[in-house]
Chains A and B, each alone.
Chain A
Amino acid sequence: MAERSLAGSRIRARRLDAGMRQADLAREAGISPSYLNLIEHNRRRIGGRLLQRIARALGVEPASLSEGAGGAVLARLRAAAAAAGQEADLAEEFAGRFPGWAELVAGQSRRIERLEAQVSALGDRLAHDPELSASLHQVIDAATAIRSTASILVGGEDLDRDWQDRFHRNIHAESLRLAENSRQLARFLKTPDAGDAPLSPQDEAERAFETLGPKLPLLETSRPGATPAELLREVEGLSEAGAALLSRWLGRHAADAALLPAEVIGGAWRRTPDPMAVARDTGAPLAAVLRRLAALPPGAGPARAGLAICDAGGAIGQRRGIEGVALPRGGTACPLWPLFEALLQPGRPLRCRVELPGLGEPTRLTAYAVAEIAAAPGWDRPARAEAVMLLLPDAPDLGALAPRPVGPGCRLCPRGDCAARREPSILPA
């Protein structure tokens, strides 16, 4: 009763927060201003439908008016518990002892409800959308007419000239219709712009690193024009995790540039265009040489180069594609790449010609990989290993080395006889 009687005060507070006049709220709730005034001063009890109408007019949940600040969260928790078949008795105690967690659960429950509504709306759209259904039917009708007519024409029966001409004309007309309708259908089913798609921190950092590309020479020691922190500040809209990652990549880029200035590594590369020779010549670790060769200012090193770096869990971090080849993220990469082999024996350099399956000619590249211990082990923790792989165009002088078949990842790989396959391909056999 005490709680109920305070609902009026909450309504008044919410109304004033919203900058709404008493008369306006009363009209929207379908009561007289004087009655609302009595309610607001807790002189009339309020509940049920009227409370809901007032809550709707104020744009708040009814429970937040009737039960105080925690009411909405509590109601949510009870609903979430009920939906999961859990007992809701402890909701109040939970919300009291862990208000932050309770907000989180309530927020997620709201989100789940919204997403469920979206999914069901999308499902409905696919099942009932008149435009989709109409263009699908037209495509099917055109295909039906073409199939039937074409098989008459090739059926081997005698057809006089008039009939032949007529059927040819029909097929032509239907094929035009099919083309137009399939275009409509494709437009209808177009995936939404990728702009809204959530990116992983790696993808965010990668995109930002590419955008910064033309400015990366500012980090070269010969003409230091910017610090990594300054470049980082130029990128807008990064999440915290994406910014942290980009900061690490830029820092390492600058450190590698300080260790191997463009003139030094460029000179060594021109003398002997082989990463191992460059490492010997400059005295730098091979891993740094591989990273650096993929990131030199234009004209200083190899004309085209790709890069992939991964941790001991096989997760790809920084990467850069070459000839349309980039290792996929998210644990779906082909395990046959030398990048992963390098992890088996840190410190051991690998050189390997690789061959990717393609529609026509297979794509051939030369891969150089090595893993290094990035952080020393302790009694209580393993060493942190990191593998780096440089990809260069196929080196003909390594011709004696038979190329190793690798792939774009099982789902997109057509190779049937692969011992490393872990899931079937989605490509048509």
Chain B
Amino acid sequence: MARRVLLIEDEPNIIEAISFILSRDGWTVHTHSDGATALDRVRAHPPDLVILDAMLPGLSGFDILGELRADAGLGDLPVMMLTARGQDRDRALAMRLGATHFMTKPFSNAEILDRVRALARA
């Protein structure tokens, strides 16, 4: 099983922490911080799983998700969306747009790991 995850997030310290725990779990982690060019990156090297932050500079995570789901080749790609706690509307929007799963910030490392493993098995 290929284990490549693309983390699209713009907070450097969150990137570092998530990269670290996923790498330790055996994943190859690629990261990308700019919303505007994130889609090109996904299309160029499709990963096995995308972790996508809702708030990104350039293009929001919701827009990126919408484009991904509209793309025939990427429609099935598992996408885990990161939204801020308490933003119920964001969460509803993420699910409507076709997120495979969403996780509310601040999350625990164990939650992220469990969910990433589960999505990879599916």
Give B29-55 as 1s and 0s: 1 = Cβ < 8 Å from A's Cβ atoms.
000000000000000000000000001
Which of chain A's residues have a CB closer than 8 A to the CB of B108? Answer: 147-148, 151
Q: Is B117 an interface residue (CB 8 A)?
A: no
Which positions 1-26 of chain B face chain A at CB distance < 8 Å? Answer: 11, 13-14, 16-18, 20-21, 24
The answer on a CB contact under 8 Å between B13 and A136 is: no
The answer on a CB contact under 8 Å between A136 and B84 is: yes
* Cα distance A149–B86 in the bound complex, in angstroms: 22
Interface size on B, residues (CB 8 A): 19
The answer on a CB contact under 8 Å between A151 and B107 is: no
* Cα distance A141–B106 in the bound complex, in angstroms: 7
Known: A143-B105, A157-B24. A152 touches B85 (CB 8 A): no
Q: Is A145 an interface residue (CB 8 A)?
A: yes
The tally of CB-CB contacts under 8 A between chains A and B is: 55
The answer on a CB contact under 8 Å between A140 and B85 is: yes
Q: Is B28 an interface residue (CB 8 A)?
A: no
- The residue that A163 contacts in the complex, of B11, B20, B55, B85, with Cβ under 8 A, is B20
- The residue that B107 contacts in the complex, of A136, A144, A146, A163, with Cβ under 8 A, is A144
> Which B residue's beta carbon lies closest to that of A150?
B17
- The residue that B21 contacts in the complex, of A140, A143, A146, A148, with Cβ under 8 A, is A148
The answer on a CB contact under 8 Å between A166 and B106 is: no
* Cα distance A148–B13 in the bound complex, in angstroms: 9
> Which A residue's beta carbon lies closest to that of B107?
A144
Which of chain A's residues have a CB closer than 8 A to the CB of B55? Answer: 137
Q: Is B100 an interface residue (CB 8 A)?
A: no
Give B75-86 as 1s and 0s: 1 = Cβ < 8 Å from A's Cβ atoms.
000000000111
The answer on a CB contact under 8 Å between B13 and A170 is: yes
Q: Is A155 an interface residue (CB 8 A)?
A: yes
Instruction: State how many angstroms separate the Cβ of A148 from the closest Cβ of chain B.
Output: 4
Which positions 82-99 of chain B face chain A at CB distance < 8 Å? Answer: 84-86
Q: Is A418 an interface residue (CB 8 A)?
A: no
Which of chain B's residues have a CB closer than 8 A to the CB of A143? Answer: 105-106
* Cα distance A51–B34 in the bound complex, in angstroms: 55
Give A149-171 as 1s and 0s: 1 = Cβ < 8 Å from B's Cβ atoms.
10110010100000100110010
* Cα distance A174–B109 in the bound complex, in angstroms: 17
Known: A147-B106, A152-B21. A141 touches B11 (CB 8 A): yes
> Which A residue's beta carbon lies closest to that of B55?
A137
The answer on a CB contact under 8 Å between A149 and B16 is: yes
* Cα distance A157–B17 in the bound complex, in angstroms: 14
The answer on a CB contact under 8 Å between B109 and A151 is: yes
Known: A144-B106, A163-B20. A149 touches B85 (CB 8 A): no
The answer on a CB contact under 8 Å between B105 and A144 is: yes
Q: Is A122 an interface residue (CB 8 A)?
A: no
The answer on a CB contact under 8 Å between A140 and B17 is: no
In this complex, the member of A136, A141, A167, A173 whose beta carbon has the largest number of chain B beta carbons within 10 angstroms is: A141
What 3 A-B pairs are tightest by C-beta distance, nearest first?
A: A148-B17, A145-B13, A144-B106
- Chain A interfacial positions (CB closer than 8 Å to B): 136-137, 140-141, 143-149, 151-152, 155, 157, 163, 166-167, 170, 173-174
18 A-B pairs besides A146-B106, A148-B21 with CB distance below 8 A are: A136-B84, A137-B84, A140-B85, A140-B105, A140-B106, A141-B14, A144-B105, A144-B107, A145-B13, A147-B108, A148-B17, A148-B18, A148-B108, A148-B109, A152-B21, A167-B17, A170-B16, A170-B17
A-B contact pairs, 24 of them (CB 8 A): A136-B86, A140-B105, A144-B14, A144-B105, A144-B106, A145-B11, A145-B17, A148-B18, A148-B21, A148-B107, A148-B108, A149-B13, A151-B109, A152-B21, A152-B109, A155-B109, A157-B24, A163-B20, A166-B16, A167-B16, A170-B16, A170-B17, A173-B13, A174-B13
